[in-house]
Structure 1
Amino acid sequence: MSLLPRRWRLPYLALLTVIGLLLSASALQAYRLSGGRRLWEPFLWEFSSVAVIGALALGVHALVGRLLGRPWPRQLAAHAVALPLFSGLHIAGMFGLRLAVYGLAGLGYQPDDVPTLLVYEGGKDAVSYISFCLISRGIWMAQAASARAQELDRARRELAEVRLARLADQVQPHFLFNTLNLISAVMYEDVARADRLLCQLADLLRQTLAAQQRAEHTVREELALVQPFLALMQARFGPERLVVHIDAEAAALDCRLPALLLLAPVENAVKHDVARHRGCVTVVVAAAIEGGRLRLRISNHGDTPVPEAPTDPDGGLGLRNLRERLAARHGSAATVNFGPDGAGMSLALELPCVC
C-alpha cells in the first residue's frame, strides 16, 4: 500500500471489497447449482484473486508511470517482461492464499495442473494487465495535465503579482514629481510655507512607501493616505481655492483594494482642475456598498465653467495605471468610468468588496 497515497488507501480497499463481493455473489450461484456445500469457498476463490490482483495493479501503475515519456520500443519491451511476471505472481499468490486457508480448515485442495493454470489464468491475466496499463496511463496523463495546469496558474499568479508591483511602482515617482513641482511654485514666494509643505510631503511619502509593501489594503487605510495628501494640497492652494469632502460608509471601510489606487486620481483632480478653474474647486471622495459591491467616486466641481476639455480623455497616466491594476486584480469584475460631470470631472469605480 506504500505505492498508494494515504488518502486513497481506504477508497481503494473499498473498491476491491466491492469487486470481490460482486464476483463472489456470481460464483456462489454457480457453486450452489453444482452441488457445493461450503458456501465460503466461492468467496475464498474470488477474494484471493482480487487481493493479489489489487496489490499487483499498484505495481503496474508504478511501472507505467516510470515508462511515461520513454520510447515506445522500450515501453513494449518492459511490458513484455512484466506481463509474464504479473501472471506468475498472480497465480502463485492466489493459490498460495487458497492452500493456506484450506490447510487451516483441515481440508484438502487440489488445483489444476500447471499448464492448464497457465493457459486459463494467463489469458485472463493478459486482459487484466492490458486494462490496468490503459487505465493507469490515463490516470498518469490526467495527473500530469493537472500538474501543468497548476503550474500554469501559479505562473500566471506570479506574473500578475509582478505586473501589479510594476504598476504600483509607477505611482510613487509620478506622485512625487508632480507634488514637488507644486511645492516649487511657492518656494520663492513663502519659504516658511514651502518648508512646511515639504515636511508634510515627507510624512506622506513615508506612509505611501509603507503602503506599497503591502500590495493591497483596506479602504480605511487608503483614505488615511488620501486625507493628508488633500490637506497638503489645501495648504498649497488655500482653502478658498480647494474644498475637500470625504464621504465613506462604515461598511465600505473594510473592503480591500490595491494600495495607492486612489492617490493618483485624487492628485489629478487637484492638480489639473484647480489650475483649470478660476474660482473654488470642490473635490469629493466617496465610498459606498451597493449590492455587495464597492463603489468609489472621485469628483471635482468648480464655481466657474471649465475653459477647455482635458487633453487626455482617458485621464492620463494615473487613470491608465488604475485601469490596468484593477484589470490585473479583478478582470472584468471591476469597472472604471471617467468623464465630464457638470462643471468638472468624475471618476467612478466599481469592484468586488473583499474583506
Structure 2
Amino acid sequence: MWGRGRYAQHLGRPLTWFGCYLRWLPLVFISWIAVVYAIRLGVYAMADRTYEHPGWGFVIVYESLKLTYFSGLWLGVLFGIESFGQWQLQWRRLLQTQKALAEAQLAHLQGQLRPHFLFNALNTISALMHTDVVRADRLVAELGDLLRVSLRSNEHEMTPLADELRMLELYAGIMLERFRDRVTLDWQVDRTLLKTPVPSLLLQPLLENAFKHGVEPTVVHVRIMVSVRHEADSLEVVIRNSGSRLAPEQRDGVGLRNCRERLGIIYGSAASLRVDNGDDGVAARIAIPMGDAAP
C-alpha cells in the first residue's frame, strides 16, 4: 500500500495524491487498534494481570489521531521523495529533448552551408570555363577533393582543427586559382592546437567572405591572413583581409549568421564571433573555449 510510485500519476495534484493513501486510514485504524490491543490484552492475561485502558471511545479517538499524525509525516516524506524522483525523470527527458532539438538545428544549419559554398565554388569554375579550360578542369578536380572532405565531416558535428584547416586549404586553393595574381594568403597556425575539436565547416564561410568582399570587388592586390593561436582559455581564429571596410549598416549574411547560431548552440555564451574593421581591412575573429562544449 505504501510502495513508492503507486500513485505517481497524481503527483501534480497533491490533494488527490494524499487522498489516494488516506482513504485507507479507517481500515488501518481498525486493524491497528484491534491488533495492538489484542496483543496487550493477551500479554497481560498470560501474566495473570488485567490490562487497564481508558474507554474504547477514547482509545479509538486517541489512536486514530496518533496514526493520522504519523501517517501524515510519513506521507509528507514519501511525497517529497516521489516528487524529487519525478522531477529528475522530467529533467532528464527535457535535456534529451533539448539535445535532440539542438542536434536537429545543427544538422539544418550545417546543411545550409554545403549548398551555399558549393554554389559559390561552381560559380568560380563557370567564370573560368570559357576563358581557361585547363584551370577550370583543375578546379573541378580540387572541388571533388573538397567535397569528399566535406562529406566525411558530415558524420560528426565536431572535427579536429587539422581537418577543418585541410578543408579550408582546399577551398582556398580553388579561390586562389580564380583570383590568381590578385591575392596572397598567409597561414599562421599554432601546430600544437591541431587536435583541438572545432565545429566542422565553421571557418569556410569566414574565408569565403574575405574573398567575396575583400578580393572580388577590387583589382588591387589583397592580402588575406589566417591566424590560429591559443589566447587565454580559448582557441582564437582570425581571418583578416586587407583593402575592404565594413559599412556601418552592413548586416550578417547567411554564412556569418549560420556560424553565430552554431556557436551559440554548441558553446552558449562561452564562444564569440566578431567581425570588425582593423587598421588595414576587415577581421573576422572567433573565440572558442578550449574545454568541452556547453550542455
Same fold (TM over 0.5): yes
Q: Which residue of 2 aligns with 1:84?
A: 27
Q: Which residue of 2 aligns with 1:279?
A: 220
Segment drifting more, 84-93 vs 120-129: 84-93
- Pair 1:138 & 2:88 matched: no
- Pair 1:300 & 2:237 matched: no
Q: Displacement of 1:311 after TM fit?
A: 9.1
1:125-149 Cα offsets, whole Å, 9 max, x none, are 2211121122222332233233223
Structure 1 contact 300–345 (Cα < 8 Å) conserved: yes
Structure 1 contact 269–300 (Cα < 8 Å) conserved: yes
Secondary structure of the structure 1 residue equivalent to 2:148? helix
TM-score with structure 1 setting the length: 0.69
Secondary structure of the structure 2 residue equivalent to 1:269? helix
- Pair 1:158 & 2:100 matched: yes
In 1, the alpha carbon distance for the partners of 2:13 and 2:246 equals 67
| Amino acid across the alignment from 1:128 | F
Segment drifting more, 197-206 vs 64-73: 64-73
Q: Which residue of 2 aligns with 1:38?
A: none
Segment drifting more, 189-198 vs 142-151: 142-151
In 2, the alpha carbon distance for the partners of 1:292 and 1:137 equals 45
| Amino acid across the alignment from 1:227 | E
In 1, the alpha carbon distance for the partners of 2:269 and 2:144 equals 37
In 2, the alpha carbon distance for the partners of 1:236 and 1:75 equals 76
Q: Displacement of 1:212 after TM fit?
A: 1.9
Secondary structure of the structure 2 residue equivalent to 1:276? coil
Alignment of structure 1 residues 25-36 onto 2, 5 Å:
none
- Pair 1:346 & 2:288 matched: no
| Amino acid across the alignment from 2:287 | E
Q: Which residue of 2 aligns with 1:261?
A: 202
Secondary structure of the structure 1 residue equivalent to 2:128? coil
The gaps in structure 1 that reach 5 residues or longer are 1-55
Structure 1 contact 91–121 (Cα < 8 Å) conserved: no
What is the CA RMSD across the aligned residues, in angstroms? Answer: 3.4
Structure 2 contact 33–60 (Cα < 8 Å) conserved: no
In 2, the alpha carbon distance for the partners of 1:131 and 1:111 equals 34
Q: Cα 1:169–1:82, aligned 2, differ >3 Å: closer, same or farther?
A: same
In 1, the alpha carbon distance for the partners of 2:30 and 2:49 equals 20
Q: Displacement of 1:346 after TM fit?
A: 0.7
Q: Cα 1:339–1:166, aligned 2, differ >3 Å: closer, same or farther?
A: same
Q: Which residue of 2 aligns with 1:194?
A: 136
Q: Displacement of 1:111 after TM fit?
A: 9.7
**Identity over aligned pairs, percent:** 29
Q: Displacement of 1:280 after TM fit?
A: 2.1
Structure 2 contact 275–284 (Cα < 8 Å) conserved: yes
Q: Cα 1:339–1:87, aligned 2, differ >3 Å: closer, same or farther?
A: farther
In 1, the alpha carbon distance for the partners of 2:49 and 2:156 equals 76
Secondary structure of the structure 2 residue equivalent to 1:185? helix
1:51-93 Cα offsets, whole Å, 9 max, x none, are xxxxx8xx26455536546896796375232453377369859
In 2, the alpha carbon distance for the partners of 1:111 and 1:150 equals 60
- Pair 1:221 & 2:158 matched: no
In 2, the alpha carbon distance for the partners of 1:93 and 1:203 equals 86
Q: Displacement of 1:259 after TM fit?
A: 0.7
Q: Cα 1:113–1:168, aligned 2, differ >3 Å: closer, same or farther?
A: farther
Q: How many residues are aligned here?
A: 285
1:286-310 Cα offsets, whole Å, 9 max, x none, are 11112111111001124xxx4x756
In 1, the alpha carbon distance for the partners of 2:111 and 2:188 equals 28
Greater Rg, structure 1 or structure 2?
A: 1
Q: Cα 1:110–1:342, aligned 2, differ >3 Å: closer, same or farther?
A: farther
TM-score with structure 2 setting the length: 0.82
Structure 2 contact 189–227 (Cα < 8 Å) conserved: yes
The gaps in structure 2 that reach 5 residues or longer are none
Q: Cα 1:310–1:125, aligned 2, differ >3 Å: closer, same or farther?
A: same
| Amino acid across the alignment from 1:257 | V
In 2, the alpha carbon distance for the partners of 1:178 and 1:109 equals 105
Secondary structure of the structure 1 residue equivalent to 2:291? coil
1:231 to 166, 173, 189: 173
In 1, the alpha carbon distance for the partners of 2:24 and 2:167 equals 72
- Pair 1:182 & 2:124 matched: yes
Structure 1 contact 314–338 (Cα < 8 Å) conserved: no
Greater share of residues in helix:
1
In 1, the alpha carbon distance for the partners of 2:48 and 2:287 equals 79
